[in-house]
Amino acid sequence: MFAASLADVADRLPEAHVVAGTLDASGLAAAGRLQWVHSWAAGVDGALHPEMVASPVVLTSSKGNGAVPLAEHALMLMLMLDRDAPRWLRAQGSRTWDRFPHGELAGATCGIVGMGGAGSALARRAAAFDMRVLGLRRRPERRVPDVERMYGPGEVTAFVAESDFVVVTAALTPQSRGLLGPAAFRAMKPTAYYICVSRGGIADDDALLTAVREGWIAGAGLDAHAVEPLPADSPFWSLPNVIVTPHNGATTARTRRRGVDVFVDNLTRFVAGGPLRNVVDKRAGY
């Protein structure tokens, strides 16, 4: 059955074998026959409360459903920042013919944090723009096409120092939370940009704010934020070298459709007793 919220099906949870959606600790406790929960989101940090992690219930995600639009959104932010597109928009608003020198992506280095679906999709697109592509992932021995070199978590400083754009597409896990702190932003080029399209919290917000305010880096493009919605009093809204979008990068009809397709395929597998796709390692967080 379908319901708009968990409260609408609370009385049916004791008999449920499968739940697609968000299930909190009390819902999990009530679902005594539950075998499998599917998250409509690709990132499952919101679903991994301690009770779920400890539970034998299988958790799957819609991982990969937003890879294409997230890669496109990241590339859009890279282009907008590199060419200072907000300046053109301000000039258009005042009917001012404002021509100025700007950058180009060809020849620049794109460093991607997280090499899952979105990271791999971005690597292909960045390479098509004649960019040099670097990657950073938990298991750097796992290679990805179009990525010249892969770095591990212990090589963050060297990775960011090489990058003209540091783009976060990774899941938020205990290991990735706060991965980019003051030392990382200090190591970035003063001409480099930070972009986040997956989850806020991977960068330390205080360090990022200082970096963009004091010119440690050239600017930032932020679609994902540590606190969402981004509070109205957040200084990120008004910084001239920051572009803020409201976690909107993957909000497409195709993203939703692909998530439904993953669930329907898994439901077919579940009924047949087959292996499920996108099973989450609940300890690792993705």
Check 199, 213, 254, 258 and give the catalytic one: 199
Q: If you count DSSP H runs as helices and E runs as strands, how many of each does the chain have, helices first?
A: 9, 10
To the query of whether residue 199 is one of the catalytic residues in this protein, the response is: yes
Helix (H/G/I), strand (E/B), else coil: 78: helix
Closest CA to 134 of 150, 145, 117: 150
- Count of alpha carbons within 13 angstroms of residue 218, beta-carbon side: 18
To the query of whether residue 186 is one of the catalytic residues in this protein, the response is: no
Distance CA 5, CA 156 (A): 41
Check 213, 228, 254, 257 and give the catalytic one: 228
- Count of alpha carbons within 13 angstroms of residue 12, beta-carbon side: 12
Check 247, 258, 269, 277 and give the catalytic one: 247
To the query of whether residue 247 is one of the catalytic residues in this protein, the response is: yes
CB neighbour list of residue 70: distance below 8 Å, 6 or more residues apart: 118, 121, 122, 169, 197, 198, 249, 250
Kindly list the catalytic residues: 199, 228, 247
